[in-house]
Amino acid sequence: MGVNLEHHGQGISHRLIETFIHGCLSRGIKARAIVQERDTWLQDFLYQMGFHQGKMVEFVRD
C-alpha cells in the first residue's frame, strides 16, 4: 500500500492505515506491518500511528 509522491502531506496515508487497523480489529485480527529494516522512515511513521515492534523474527530460505 502506498501513496503517490504528489499526494504526500494530505493525510491520505494516515487515513489508509486507520481504515486498515479498524478493519482488522473489528474482525478480531491484529494489525501487522512488515517493514524492511533499512526503511526507517516507514518505521517512524508506523510508530507515530501507534504500532510497536513485535517479537516475530523472519526466516528465509533461498
Per-residue confidence (pLDDT) for residue 43, from 0 to 100: 94
Query: What type of residue sits at position 14?
Result: H
What pLDDT is attached to residue 9?
A: 85
**From first to last of its 62 residues, what are the pLDDT tens digits of the chain?**
778 888 888 889 899 989 999 999 999 999 999 999 999 999 999 999 999 999 998 899 99
Residue 59 lies in a domain: no
- In the chain, the number of structural domains is 1
For residues 13 and 3, is the Cβ–Cβ distance under 8 A? yes
Measured torsion, CA atoms of residues 30, 45, 3, 6, in degrees rounded to the nearest 10: 170
What's 5-50 look like in SS3?
A: HHHCCCCHHHHHHHHHHHHHHHCCCCCCCCCCCCCHHHHHHHHHCC
On whether residue 53 sits in a domain, the answer given is no
pTM: predicted TM-score of the whole model, two decimal places: 0.74
| Residue 61 maps to a domain | no
507515530: which residue's cell? 48
Domain that holds residue 12: 5-48
